[in-house]
């Protein structure tokens, strides 16, 4: 009997431990959420209409004088804050400055509603990380999460609460300057990295004083701007919208992003900023998004330019009804919504929904309890050694080795004579576009990184223009040529008509490479860019090419780490590198067409004057070691509808150096109710392998990964054959196939 009682007691104690009676994390979260809603409703009930419009109004601080519609003076800004007619400010930075303005809102306004301070913290704040497209080349979610977390810690120490990032626009056109700001051409990679960025910025809880509210942007389809010309119109079918452009935003919303920003572009005739389908139907209804939507800068007023609104009154009405909750910079909401309510063109209920969403975020951010920034934090947070090391590691992981004939790289650190030449050898352009408060003076240039790496006995020759570079090359045993593009030729408004190398300081960069290569010394090219560049001659004639990107403050050190073997590059391209501008658009997850390209057949889908393949494909990147793939195993030859499939393989380091390999899993739905891409990335894993080490890598293909929006515009997995590839890039890999079959009818079992 005693034993029975003991064991029963043990079972009870075990169960009690497993299911504690005190409210668990989930219960607590529900209580907090309920309390937040109560506080929102209580505050909303006390607000005048004017004060409600104030919460929907965001302005740039007067310092951004180049912004149209900007506040004319500090006095005007203070007055608007005091009267409760501004809910958020952009570009006010510095804890003292933010606190001073916050004090007006919290201590002098009638309802004491705190301000949200926002800024574009895209790839770092003071510690500038590689540009997002470069960090995507790491194919490492933890790298992006950590970089975003550091950025949030630095920015929040400067008084900021909200960043306009991550940018999740799918970019398939290198002419588009903002391809730099996203994570490339693939929906799955962008989804995984975008969710990681949101978690990094927002930390475990938005009320953490070091967290930033994230703002996935630009919703939606901005990257499909016709001709790669920024702000241009887009025509995107609903299938392509739902299967390509929206999934990253769905993933970011799923990661808890607090806000979303509208896109400038006209989407199929309805500008995104007035697009009911995007915001009311998809974001707020289908996805049940409970944060708020902010317009892009002046985008509500620009509905007039679009020819979609006749005047500001109409622009205010259509944006609000479409689900845009806050007006960035145009003041159209503040100036026009009062009349719209009086004329019953919008109801106060719609206004209240917008204001509720804004207040909800302010409560979630903890601003009512802790409106002021800690002014002592800055000194110990900004540019800390740990932050700089994190930036260096992110830059290393972003590097992509494009070519390395006869293992020319890595170079020896103690060679007698080395030339480092080209217009970007000692350039600070590595900070990239959208550098927030990053100071270019803090950039470690490629030359600086190399100087701190090589032996002090090495005779270093440098040169910028062609003559200097040729002379330096003649007197050296090896040459490193650093070419690329300026940060200002990328980013917003940074679209180019060509992705061939631009002249820099009057120097024809390709001509410089040709002239130096002709000297006949071992030659390495380092490319520092924020977009794919078309470099066919260089790719053909230069034995070693390292893509260093605009890799932030520590870029020069990271690039030198790789050039001299202290780091083995393992990055992979997040975007296809075309052979020429004319080959655009070219991306790996394209449709097959009825006449897929065949080099030896005229009437197939290709150009006559260049191969149908890109210069370097999506997912491509080499290493100083080599990896062998084998033993691809599929868990079954067929799975029932709704089932999942395990895929495994072995990857082995067959070289002499340790290195990272990004193992990639692709599928193809061979025949479906709408045409499907020839390949789609559905899994990846960056694994580190010592020489001779072998690892088994496993993936699970779930219905979520196999499904797509089909002919009926329903997300579904369809019956039929699927192909699977696992490999080192999107161009090849071990191939397998499986079939999705109907599940046996359940009632058939009952009959038996």
Q: Tell me the chain's radius of gyration from C-alpha atoms.
A: 28
Binding to ligand GLC by CB under 6 A, coded x per residue (else -) over 80-119, reads: ----------------------------------------
User: What is the helix (H) or strand (E) element at residue 472, kind and residue range?
Assistant: helix 466-474
The residue annotated as part of the active site, out of 120, 296, 426, 489, is 296
Phi, psi (deg, nearest 5) at residue 708: -160, 165
User: What is the helix (H) or strand (E) element at residue 663, kind and residue range?
Assistant: strand 659-669
Minimum distance from residue 164 beta carbon to ligand GLC (Å): 3
User: What is the helix (H) or strand (E) element at residue 682, kind and residue range?
Assistant: strand 680-689
Choice between 97 and 492, CB closer to ligand GLC = 492
- 120 counts as binding ligand GLC under rule CB under 6 A: yes
Binding to ligand GLC by CB under 6 A, coded x per residue (else -) over 567-606, reads: ----------------------------------------
Minimum distance from residue 360 beta carbon to ligand GLC (Å): 21
**Pairing verdict, β 88-90 and 57-60:** parallel
Binding to ligand GLC by CB under 6 A, coded x per residue (else -) over 190-229, reads: ---------------------------x------------
Q: Which residues in the 473-492 window bind ligand GLC by CB under 6 A?
A: 492
- 162 counts as binding ligand GLC under rule CB under 6 A: no
Q: Which residues in the 164-183 window bind ligand GLC by CB under 6 A?
A: 164
Beta bridge pairs of residue 666: 681, 725
Residues in contact with 422: Cβ distance below 8 Å, sequence separation at least 6, in sequence order? 463, 464, 469, 481, 482, 483, 509, 512
CB-nearest residue to ligand GLC? 164
Distance, in Å, from the CA atom of 9 to the CA atom of 668, rounded to the nearest integer, reads 55
Residues in contact with 495: Cβ distance below 8 Å, sequence separation at least 6, in sequence order? 175, 176, 177, 225, 228, 229, 230
Minimum distance from residue 263 beta carbon to ligand GLC (Å): 8
Question: How is 623-640 classified by DSSP, letter by letter?
Answer: -SS-EEEEEEEES-SEEE
Nearest of 664, 663, 582 to residue 615 by alpha carbon: 582
Residue 377 in contact with residue 542, Cβ under 8 Å?
A: no
Number of residues that bind ligand GLC (CB under 6 A): 6
Out of 51, 140, 173, 296, name the contact with ligand GLC by CB under 6 A. 296
Minimum distance from residue 317 beta carbon to ligand GLC (Å): 23
- 123 counts as binding ligand GLC under rule CB under 6 A: no
Q: How many residues does the chain have?
A: 752
Choice between 215 and 282, CB closer to ligand GLC = 215
Choice between 169 and 561, CB closer to ligand GLC = 169
Beta bridge pairs of residue 507: 504
Minimum distance from residue 230 beta carbon to ligand GLC (Å): 9
Choice between 217 and 461, CB closer to ligand GLC = 217
Choice between 66 and 600, CB closer to ligand GLC = 66
- 508 counts as binding ligand GLC under rule CB under 6 A: no
414 in active site: no
Minimum distance from residue 434 beta carbon to ligand GLC (Å): 8
Residue 99 in contact with residue 413, Cβ under 8 Å?
A: no
- 302 counts as binding ligand GLC under rule CB under 6 A: no
Beta bridge pairs of residue 101: none
Residue 298 in contact with residue 39, Cβ under 8 Å?
A: no
Minimum distance from residue 10 beta carbon to ligand GLC (Å): 58
Minimum distance from residue 272 beta carbon to ligand GLC (Å): 11
SS3 745: coil
Region of 593 on the Ramachandran plot (φ > 0 left; ψ -120 to 50 alpha; else beta): left
Choice between 217 and 364, CB closer to ligand GLC = 217
Q: Which residues in the 334-393 window bind ligand GLC by CB under 6 A?
A: none
Angle of helix 332-342 relative to helix 312-322, nearest 10 degrees, comes to 90
- 297 counts as binding ligand GLC under rule CB under 6 A: yes
Within 10 Å of residue 408's Cβ, how many Cβ atoms?
A: 15
Phi, psi (deg, nearest 5) at residue 60: -75, 150
Interface residues toward ligand GLC, by CB under 6 A: 120, 164, 217, 296-297, 492
Which of the residues are catalytic? 296
């Amino acid at each position: 009997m005693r034993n029975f009682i003991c064991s029963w007691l043990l079972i009870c104690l075990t169960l009690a431990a497993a299911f504690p009676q005190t409210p668990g994390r989930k219960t607590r979260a529900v209580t907090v959420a309920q309390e937040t809603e109560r506080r929102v409703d209580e505050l909303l009930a006390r607000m005048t209409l004017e004060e409600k419009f104030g919460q929907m109004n965001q302005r740039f601080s007067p310092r951004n004088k180049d912004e149209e519609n900007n506040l004319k003076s500090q006095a005007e800004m203070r007055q608007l804050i005091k009267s409760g007619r501004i809910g958020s400010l952009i570009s006010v930075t510095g804890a003292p400055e933010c606190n001073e303005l916050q004090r007006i809102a919290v201590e002098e306004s009638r309802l004491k509603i705190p301000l949200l301070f926002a800024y574009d913290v895209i790839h770092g704040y003071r510690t500038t990380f590689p540009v997002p497209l470069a960090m995507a080349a790491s194919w490492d979610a933890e790298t992006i999460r950590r970089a975003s977390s550091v950025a949030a810690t630095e920015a929040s120490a400067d008084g900021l609460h909200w960043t306009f990032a991550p940018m999740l626009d799918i970019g398939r056109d290198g002419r588009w300057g903002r391809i730099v700001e996203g994570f490339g051409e693939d929906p799955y990679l962008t989804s995984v990295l975008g969710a990681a960025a949101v978690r990094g910025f927002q930390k475990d809880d938005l009320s953490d004083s070091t967290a930033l509210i994230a703002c996935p942007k630009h919703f939606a389809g901005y990257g499909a701007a016709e001709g790669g010309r920024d702000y241009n119109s887009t025509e995107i079918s609903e299938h392509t919208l739902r299967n390509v452009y929206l999934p990253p935003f769905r993933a970011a919303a799923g990661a808890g992003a607090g806000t979303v920003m509208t896109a400038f572009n006209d989407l199929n005739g309805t500008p995104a900023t007035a697009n009911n389908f995007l915001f009311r139907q998809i974001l707020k209804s289908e996805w049940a998004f409970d944060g708020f939507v902010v317009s892009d800068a002046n985008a509500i007023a620009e509905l007039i330019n679009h020819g979609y609104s006749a005047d500001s009154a109409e622009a205010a009405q259509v944006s609000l009804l479409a689900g845009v909750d806050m007006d960035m910079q145009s003041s159209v909401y503040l100036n026009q919504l009062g009349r719209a309510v009086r004329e019953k063109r919008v109801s106060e209920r719609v206004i209240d929904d917008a204001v509720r969403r804004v207040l909800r975020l302010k409560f979630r951010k903890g601003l009512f309890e802790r409106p002021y920034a800690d002014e002592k934090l800055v000194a110990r947070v900004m540019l800390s050694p740990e932050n700089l090391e994190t930036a260096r590691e992110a830059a290393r992981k972003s590097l992509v080795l494009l070519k390395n004939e006869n293992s020319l790289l890595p170079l020896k650190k103690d060679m007698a004579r080395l030339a480092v030449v080209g217009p970007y050898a000692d350039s600070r352009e590595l900070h990239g576009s959208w550098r927030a408060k990053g100071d270019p003076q803090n950039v470690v240039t490629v030359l600086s990184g190399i100087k701190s790496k090589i032996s002090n006995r090495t005779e270093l020759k440098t040169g910028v223009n062609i003559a200097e570079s040729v002379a330096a090359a003649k007197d050296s045993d090896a040459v490193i040529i650093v070419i690329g593009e300026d940060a200002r030729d990328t980013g917003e408004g940074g679209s180019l008509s060509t992705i061939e190398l631009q002249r820099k300081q009057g120097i024809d960069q390709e001509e410089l490479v040709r002239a130096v290569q002709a000297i006949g010394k071992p030659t390495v090219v380092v490319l520092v860019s924020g977009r794919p560049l078309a470099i066919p001659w260089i790719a053909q004639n230069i034995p070693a090419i390292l893509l260093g990107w605009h890799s932030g403050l520590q870029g020069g050190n990271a690039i030198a780490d790789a050039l001299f073997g202290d780091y083995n590059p393992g990055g992979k391209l997040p975007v296809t590198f075309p052979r020429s501008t004319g080959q655009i658009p070219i991306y790996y997850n394209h449709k097959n067409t009825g006449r897929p390209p065949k080099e030896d057949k005229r009437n197939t889908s290709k150009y006559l004057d260049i191969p149908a393949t890109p210069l370097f494909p999506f997912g491509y990147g080499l290493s100083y070691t080599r990896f062998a793939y084998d033993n691809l195993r599929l868990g079954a030859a067929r799975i029932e509808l709704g089932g999942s499939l395990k895929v495994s393989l072995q990857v082995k380091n067959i070289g002499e150096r340790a290195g990272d390999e990004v193992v990639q899993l692709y599928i193809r739905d061979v025949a479906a109710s709408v045409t499907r891409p020839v390949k789609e990335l559905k899994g990846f894993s960056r694994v580190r392998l010592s020489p001779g080490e072998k690892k088994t890598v496993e993936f699970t293909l779930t219905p979520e990964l196999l499904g797509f929006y089909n002919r009926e515009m329903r997300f579904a997995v369809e019956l039929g054959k699927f192909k699977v590839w696992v490999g080192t890039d999107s161009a090849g890999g071990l191939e397998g196939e499986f079939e999705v079959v109907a599940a046996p009818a359940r009632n058939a079992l009952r009959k038996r």
